[in-house]
Structure 1
Amino acid sequence: MQDTDPIPASRVSFLTDWLRLDGARGVGLRTAHLLLAAFGSPRAIFEAGHAALAAHAGPAVAGALCAPPSRQTRERIDATLAWLRAPAHHVLALGDAAYPRALANIPDPPLLLHISGRIDLLARPALAIVGSRNATVQGKANAAAFAAALSDAGVCVVSGLALGIDAAAHEGALRGAGSTIAVVGTGADLCYPARNRALAERIADAGCIVSEYALGTPPTSGNFPRRNRIISGLSSGVLVVEAAARSGSLITARVAAEQGRDVFALPGSIHAPLAKGCHQLIRDGARLVETVDEVLEALQVSPLASASLSASGAAHALPTETDCTDLLAQLGHGPLDVDDLLERLGADIGQLSMGLLALEMAGMIERLPGGKVQRVYI
């Protein structure tokens, strides 16, 4: 596999700052968000000085941020930049214009997303499908059928690459135009469980694998409940297809409800253990659904959307600089809010995000605090 073009120096500097913040000793996600709210960007955090940092996060964290990055962090930065040189490998930081807007609006969005595959899928309408790892044959068939129909309707199916319902949902979604996103609890360069390796390779080729964890992060029990907020955060709603009374899928459904997402559940037999969780969700207010049309209606997605999606998604690569000529012209000479740019162009957010990312990776624009972008003259 050949390397892609060199990463522009401005992009290297930008990602290095975010990777350094993400790897700083004693700086958890909550503290990082607090500091970003106070200072605006990782670079501003590192330049703030000990006293200003200590006022917000305490002297220990201030000391860690003022110290040079650790050897482990430097090695992570080098490994990530090397990984990015391979085709279809991407890293999006929370400060990127192309960072998924739906995910950015949850209370605790990841600082970084490591992505293998079609980055354009992150801007598409999406629904999560989750359920039991020990699913029945009927449950897996239901998950695959719903996923295939949703994908045909232009909806990207999000799940967690686990055995059972997750794997069936990914398989079904790969058959349609909407494809699928797998949010994993390891580094994006690893596959867990190993039995899903062939499926993961197909998703990386025709869909998208997403992880907030550093490359090489092994599977640990705490990673998987944590990644559930990303599964629901990327989605307009969550459909639960078979879940025991204490299933991990119920955590995803609960987080989805807290994020303001719709929760759907398939009913089952009163005698079936894997229907207990779905029935509890329905009692708690989840929408009982029996057909895909009911889900599409709730999501306000037309079943005819697949035709336009198939045409617009024929090329999975980022737009070229030539494709973005009008975008550059509309940027003008000063900082511009992304929402204002969206209004000027009359484009959808997915198209704009892809264009901005292409220009940023080419070193032709830079991201500024407050959701603004600015042209770089080189």
Structure 2
Amino acid sequence: MPALPDPTGERADETRALLALVLAGGRTRPLRDLLDHFGSACHALAAGPRAWQAAGLDRQQVQALGTAAPAASEQARRWLEHPRHHLLGWGDDDYPPLLRSCQNPPLALFIDGDPACLWQPAIAVVGSRNPSPAGCENAYEFARALSASGLAIGSGLAAGIDAAAHRAALDAGGATFAVIGTGPDLAYPRRHAPLQTLVAARGAVVSEYPPDTPPRNGQFPARNRVLAALCLGTVVIEAAARSGALITARLAAEAGREVFAVPGSIRNAMARGCHRLIRDGAILVTQPADILEGVANLAGELAGALQNRLLTPIPEAPGSACPAPTPPDPDYQRLWNALGHDPTGMDSLIRRTGLTASRLSSMLLVMELEGKVSSAYGCYTRT
């Protein structure tokens, strides 16, 4: 996926207009329809109250668009000035394809980190905020193994299972992203601020809420639908009979994703939610390989979507012993030539190709999805 454009000129105008639509609040369906109809946030905002009403915006949304909210808007604009911060809108080509197809997708995502991470095949690892020691160990071991296999790990940055999953992915040198229920600049719980910073640096922290949005109860079930939709499947590791993790699992099933559950002792109250999921049709898993097998088909669909975004493969490179899995772009050929059968780090690839880290990450992801490149601990090799 190409790097997001520099926030100047036309792009800056589009970002400001999209921000105004986000800050209007209310139902997102009419706002998405407005963007679809006018083709850009700038045109949608310039269309005026009659067009807004015709698209289905309610009175509060129309008033919000007609009268700027300078404090919130200025704070969000300041947050977006950081080079690692992005606002990815519904009309953007880089909006994650799995999220686009879910029920009630967000109008936009505030992202601290790399937006390309959200195109990577991922598994959501969720569960209790107060797990047993064995539950934490299972979450860590499953997430570490899945990360080592090339999958990103998605979770909610909550205490317990979520935190163990994020740390496992970081320790494995893999990608991880967190979908949070506050603004992207706030950590909840607060003690997870250092972990949130690490996740943003190695992957992405994602929120549909503007900067400085405090935690509110209704926002956490809402964020679960985003997490479930962004991932190929959701694995639940310890959950009580009434648990937020079960909401994520239900939303994953409604979005057409696989749901996996790790069984536990019948005497463990934290296993009752998992047992109920298995009774209701979730796939019982005892090892990470069970999950990899279960998501293979949907991973292929994601690979197809990414290839459509980045064009199609080209034939074998002259003189190469292996087919070069690259679109008709000299940058891909340059990257293929720079790769070898010994692990090569990103810094070396940048030096050898002259390409940016963002561009290389997108290209390497395509090659990984094709099965022509493997990655481990931040290094890449031909397969």
CA distance in 2, matches of 1:119, 1:91: 9
User: Is 1:9 matched with 2:9?
Assistant: yes
User: Is 1:94 matched with 2:90?
Assistant: yes
Aligned position for 1:163:
159
User: Is 1:172 matched with 2:168?
Assistant: yes
Q: In the superposition, relative to structure 1, how do residues 350 and 83 fare at CA in structure 2: closer, same or farther (>3 Å)?
A: farther
CA distance in 2, matches of 1:39, 1:127: 35
Aligned position for 1:191:
187
Q: In the superposition, relative to structure 1, how do residues 263 and 8 fare at CA in structure 2: closer, same or farther (>3 Å)?
A: same
CA distance in 2, matches of 1:35, 1:127: 32
Superposition deviation, residue 232 in structure 1: 0.7
Q: In the superposition, relative to structure 1, how do residues 230 and 236 fare at CA in structure 2: closer, same or farther (>3 Å)?
A: same
Q: In the superposition, relative to structure 1, how do residues 136 and 106 fare at CA in structure 2: closer, same or farther (>3 Å)?
A: same
User: Is 1:314 matched with 2:346?
Assistant: yes
Superposition deviation, residue 136 in structure 1: 0.5
The AA in structure 2 aligned to 1:287 is: I
CA distance in 2, matches of 1:108, 1:277: 26
Q: In the superposition, relative to structure 1, how do residues 191 and 148 fare at CA in structure 2: closer, same or farther (>3 Å)?
A: same
Aligned position for 2:202:
206
CA distance in 1, matches of 2:14, 2:165: 36
Superposition deviation, residue 258 in structure 1: 0.6
**Do the aligned partners of 1:130 and 1:239 also contact (CA within 8 Å) in 2?**
yes
Aligned position for 1:30:
29
Superposition deviation, residue 23 in structure 1: 1.2
**Do the aligned partners of 2:24 and 2:65 also contact (CA within 8 Å) in 1?**
no
List alignment gaps of at least 5 residues for structure 1: 328-341, 352-378
CA distance in 1, matches of 2:367, 2:18: 24
Aligned partner (choices 95, 114, 117) of residue 118 of structure 1? 114
CA distance in 2, matches of 1:349, 1:56: 41
List alignment gaps of at least 5 residues for structure 2: 301-338, 370-383
The AA in structure 2 aligned to 1:142 is: N
Superposition deviation, residue 241 in structure 1: 0.3
Superposition deviation, residue 59 in structure 1: 6.8
CA distance in 1, matches of 2:143, 2:127: 13
Aligned position for 2:278:
282
SS of equivalent residue, structure 2 residue 177: strand
Deviations 1:99-122, CA, capped at 9 Å, x for gaps: 211112212111221111233311
CA distance in 2, matches of 1:117, 1:10: 22
CA distance in 2, matches of 1:184, 1:294: 27
**Do the aligned partners of 2:23 and 2:73 also contact (CA within 8 Å) in 1?**
no
Deviates more, 1:253-262 or 1:176-185: 176-185
Aligned position for 1:348:
366
Q: In the superposition, relative to structure 1, how do residues 198 and 65 fare at CA in structure 2: closer, same or farther (>3 Å)?
A: closer
* Residue correspondences, number: 319
Superposition deviation, residue 41 in structure 1: 3.4
Across the aligned residues of Structure 1 and Structure 2, the Cα RMSD in angstroms comes to: 3.4
User: Is 1:55 matched with 2:54?
Assistant: yes
CA distance in 2, matches of 1:180, 1:10: 31
CA distance in 2, matches of 1:176, 1:58: 46
Q: In the superposition, relative to structure 1, how do residues 192 and 349 fare at CA in structure 2: closer, same or farther (>3 Å)?
A: farther
Aligned position for 2:260:
264
CA distance in 2, matches of 1:201, 1:13: 29
CA distance in 1, matches of 2:263, 2:150: 25
**Do the aligned partners of 1:157 and 1:181 also contact (CA within 8 Å) in 2?**
yes
The AA in structure 2 aligned to 1:348 is: V
User: Is 1:103 matched with 2:122?
Assistant: no
Deviations 1:74-102, CA, capped at 9 Å, x for gaps: x3333233223324222211222222111
User: Is 1:295 matched with 2:294?
Assistant: no
Q: In the superposition, relative to structure 1, how do residues 142 and 19 fare at CA in structure 2: closer, same or farther (>3 Å)?
A: same
Aligned position for 2:45:
46
Superposition deviation, residue 8 in structure 1: 1.4
**Do the aligned partners of 1:187 and 1:217 also contact (CA within 8 Å) in 2?**
yes
**Do the aligned partners of 1:54 and 1:61 also contact (CA within 8 Å) in 2?**
no
The AA in structure 2 aligned to 1:314 is: M
SS of equivalent residue, structure 2 residue 34: helix
The AA in structure 1 aligned to 2:206 is: V
- The higher relative CO (CA closer than 8 Å, separation ≥ 6) is in 1
Deviates more, 1:118-127 or 1:240-249: 118-127
User: Is 1:217 matched with 2:235?
Assistant: no
Q: In the superposition, relative to structure 1, how do residues 58 and 211 fare at CA in structure 2: closer, same or farther (>3 Å)?
A: closer
User: Is 1:149 matched with 2:159?
Assistant: no
**Do the aligned partners of 1:154 and 1:177 also contact (CA within 8 Å) in 2?**
no
SS of equivalent residue, structure 2 residue 171: coil
CA distance in 1, matches of 2:235, 2:195: 21
Aligned position for 1:252:
248
State TM-score, norm by structure 1. 0.75
SS of equivalent residue, structure 1 residue 113: strand
Deviations 1:6-29, CA, capped at 9 Å, x for gaps: 72111111111111111126x422
Q: In the superposition, relative to structure 1, how do residues 28 and 88 fare at CA in structure 2: closer, same or farther (>3 Å)?
A: same
**Do the aligned partners of 1:123 and 1:349 also contact (CA within 8 Å) in 2?**
no
State TM-score, norm by structure 2. 0.74
Q: In the superposition, relative to structure 1, how do residues 223 and 242 fare at CA in structure 2: closer, same or farther (>3 Å)?
A: same
